[in-house]
Amino acid sequence: MATLPSKPIADDVSLLVVLIDTNPFFWSTSSSSLNFHQFVSHVLVFLDLIVRLSQLNQIVVIATGHNTCDYIYDSSLDTDQVTGEGELPALYSFVLQRLEEFVNKDEKLGAKQDGLSEKRVSSLLSGSLSMALCYIQRVFRSGPLHPQPRILCLQGSPDGSEQYVSIMNAIFSAQRSMVPIDCCYVGSHNSAFLQQASYITGGVYVKPQHLEGLYQYLATVFAVDLHSRSFLQLPRPAGVDFRASCFCHKTTIDMGYVCSVCLSIFCKHHDKCSTCGSVFGKAQLDAASDRKRKASES
């Protein structure tokens, strides 16, 4: 990671890409003390805070839906800030309107699939992460003086195991371009994907204990720019589980067998790989050669 040359960036100007989880399956079933309406009002105040912390700060909001993802707001495109008397600030009304449009579109797309997707409650995090990274690359291309980008995932839905490969791809790409992924997880169980994302990219992972005070968590942890972060005591990652789960039973394992061709993980010895179809040689040949190698070394 240290091989990249340091870029001449104004170190206290941020580009914050916020990914908002709008998954209806999560928000309708969430038994917690936070409903979608309250959640959005916390987030809106937070967005306003970011814009007001520095006039050069930029925010981009991307919605992560159940069936689609889309851009909601981009402060660099926003030209008219005038608001009428007694109305909501332009930022609030614009984001609310676009969010509503998005949720309706998401619902329509879901209705087409006539209940086939009932069981899947995950949201399309890989899509919104990929879009955020593409947007950040565009900012990197714009010249040597650009704001420091970071991604903030506001996620509540559980992980979708079918997105594992694509989310990991996005995480590694973010790591390569040194973009931290911060996560504020409002769901009931910890998200293993987001814990890994924050751990690998050097971001912060927070699972608020008291959801009614969400804004306070957002403002105290995620509002400061990357430069100022080094002076703060932010929540430390605790116990990120890097153990793998096997492809055959999806159980977490300490030791297992890995196919040498496609790196699929199995908990027992098989004769044929179910992913790539390779036929394996003699069982335990690997262990035998391990011993041989050790013997020749000593």
Partner 1 sequence: MNNSEKKRRNGEAEEENEEDVEDEGRDAWERTYTDERSWEALEEDESGLLQPIDNKAIYHSQYRRRLQSLSATSAASRIQKGLIRFLCVVVDLSKAAGEMDFKPSRMAVIAKHVETFIREFFDQNPLSQIGLVIIKDGVAQSLTELGGSPEAHIKALMVKLGCAGDSSLQNALELVHDTLHKIPSYGHREVLILYSALSTCDPGDIMETIQKCKKAKLRCSVIGLSAEMFVCKHLCQETGGSYMVALDEGHFKELLLEHAPPPPALAEFAIANLIKMGFPQRAAEGSIAICSCHREAKVGEGYICPRCKARVCELPTECRFCGLTLVSSPHLARSYHHLFPIEPFTEVSARQLELSRVASKTCFSCRESLLTPGTNKAGPCAACTKCKQYFCLDCDIYIHESLHNCPGCESRRITPAAASATMS
Q: Which residue number, 88 or 261, has a Cβ lying nearer to partner 1?
A: 261
- The three-state secondary structure class of 39 is helix
Given candidates 47, 184, 257, 267, which one binds partner 1 under the rule CB under 8 A?
Answer: 257
Please identify, using beta-carbon distances, which residue of 145 and 263 lies nearer to partner 1: 263
Smaller CB separation from partner 1, 1 or 82: 1
Strands 244-245 and 252-253: antiparallel
Check binding of 166 to partner 1 (CB under 8 A): yes
Among the candidate windows 11-19, 42-50, 88-96, 125-133, which touches partner 1 by CB under 8 A?
125-133
C-beta separation of 173 from 133 below 8 A? yes
232 binds partner 1 (CB under 8 A): no
2 Cα distance to chain centroid: 23
The window from 36-44, 51-59, 127-135, 221-229 that contacts partner 1 (CB under 8 A) reads 127-135
What does the buried/exposed string (b/e) look like for 101-123 if buried means 16 or more CB atoms within 10 Å of the residue's CB? ebbeebeeebeeeeeeeeeebbb
Position 131 contacts partner 1 (CB under 8 A): yes
Please write down the long-range contacts of 235-241, taking CB distance under 8 Å and 24 or more positions apart.
Answer: 235/204, 235/205, 235/206, 237/195, 237/198, 237/199, 237/205, 240/195, 240/196, 240/199, 241/192, 241/195
Binding-residue total with partner 1 (CB under 8 A) = 80
The amino acid at 70: D
Q: How far is CA 143 from CA 30, 140, 147, in A?
A: 43, 7, 10
Q: Tell me the residue length of the chain.
A: 298
- Residues between 65 and 124 with contacts to partner 1, criterion CB under 8 A: 66-71, 74, 109-110, 113, 116-117, 120, 124
Q: Is 146 in the site for partner 1 (CB under 8 A)?
A: no
Closer CB to partner 1, 126 or 214, in the complex: 126
Q: Which is nearer to partner 1, 32 or 142 (CB)?
A: 142
245: Cα separation from own chain's centroid? 20
Residue closer to partner 1 (CB basis): 57 or 67? 67
Token pair of 146 as six digits: 């650009």
Q: In angstroms, what is the minimal distance from the CB of 155 to partner 1?
A: 15
135 binds partner 1 (CB under 8 A): yes
What minimum distance in Å lies between the beta carbon of 226 and partner 1?
21
CB of 298 to partner 1, least distance (A): 11
Contacting range for partner 1; rule: CB under 8 A; set: 10-18, 94-102, 179-187, 249-257: 249-257
Amino acid at 61: V
Smallest separation, CB 227 to partner 1 (Å): 25
Residue 224 DSSP code: S
Cβ proximity to partner 1: between 145 and 276 the closer is 276
Residues 4-33 that bind partner 1 (CB under 8 A): none
- Report the residue from 29, 56, 83, 176 that binds partner 1 according to the rule CB under 8 A: 176
Provide the edge-to-edge strand list for the sheet that holds 148-155.
58-64, 14-21, 148-155, 181-185, 205-206
Judged by CB under 8 A, the residue of 33, 177, 188, 216 near partner 1 is 177
